[in-house]
A and B are shown apart, each in its own frame.
Chain A
Amino acid sequence: MKTAERSSETLPTPATAMSVFVLLLVLLSLSAVSSHFLTGRTGTTVGLLIAAAKMTLIFTYFMRLRYQSGLVRLFALVGFFWLGLILLLTFADYLTRG
């Protein structure tokens, strides 16, 4: 009975964890290699996108958001949303200065 209601605690199997890990290493090499070709804004954008992909993998599988309730997923995103607000409104100032 308990296992049924504990759906929030399901785990990725070790096999899933391994494949996620391999994927993470692939992303890491991609990031490292691309930095030698891409410069400036493009470089940073690609680097950040790859980092975001890595984080999504870690959040989804290692931190098990995939198996969690909507509430927990919301809590996981709120911090990033608020960080976005800081960046948005701070840059609203810096990018429009005369």
Chain B
Amino acid sequence: MNTEIVTEISPFSNETQRSMAQHLGMWTFIATEVLFFGGLFAGYALYRTTYPEIFAAGSHRLDFWIGTINTAVLLTSSLCMALADSAAKLGRRAKLQWCLAGTWLLGAVFLGLKFYEYHEKFVEHLVPGAHFLPGGGAAPQLQLFFVLYFAMTGLHALHMIIGLGLIGWLWKRAGRGGLSPGHTAPVEITGLYWHFVDCIWVFLYPLLYLVR
């Protein structure tokens, strides 16, 4: 860094105002995310209504147990994030770091299982495209189910990866003591994002794994 420090003019007059603005901003962002995923959910709703049996057949080809365990893993990571939040507020740095590490690890476990599942689908020739060979006289519409499956879970996984990056950054920052009890907005805002990404999965789970 050279001497020319950017004299950052804060638009806010105090920390409370800044924190409230950041919360409002994050919730606005979450509304955009609802609609971003919403396009996919609308597509899902349409084809699920049009081809109910085929979607049930597609759902049978997914691994019920991986889906269920992954849901539990994500819910637990959300719990860790919530605990991290209160640890930050109380200024318990060690606890904060442990909770963040727990959140991160559970997120990583989720992604690990997810990619294992993707690999399985690849081996079974269920990835849409030229190599899609479901066998068993499956209807062509089965591919629609898998396009949606990969698009929805893929987009969700992408959000998880971004979330892992954010949590790793928080962890480092907490280690340096950069998250004092008066300045916990980064933990709160990241927490909102993380919980929201979990909520998406909470809906993907019944829509993809539990169609019967």
Contact = CB atoms under 8 A, between A and B. Distances in A.
Main secondary structure of the interface of B (DSSP, over half): helix
Main secondary structure of the interface of A (DSSP, over half): helix
A87 B82 contact: no
A13 interface: yes
Interface residues of B, number: 55
Contacts of A92: none
Given A17-B86, A21-B75, A31-B206, A58 B195 contact: yes
Contact of A90 (B24, B46, B50, B75): B46
A38 to B, nearest CB: 7
Contacts of B86: 11-14, 17
Interface string A1-24: 010011011011110011011001
A26 to B, nearest CB: 11
A50 to B, nearest CB: 7
A43 B212 contact: yes
B118 interface: no
Contacts of A72: 23-24, 27
Given A24-B75, A24-B78, A82-B31, 5 more contacts: A28-B71, A51-B203, A55-B199, A58-B199, A75-B24
26 contacts: A11-B86, A12-B82, A12-B86, A13-B86, A17-B86, A21-B76, A21-B78, A25-B75, A28-B71, A31-B205, A31-B210, A40-B56, A41-B52, A43-B210, A43-B211, A58-B78, A58-B195, A58-B198, A62-B79, A72-B23, A72-B24, A76-B31, A79-B38, A82-B31, A87-B42, A87-B45
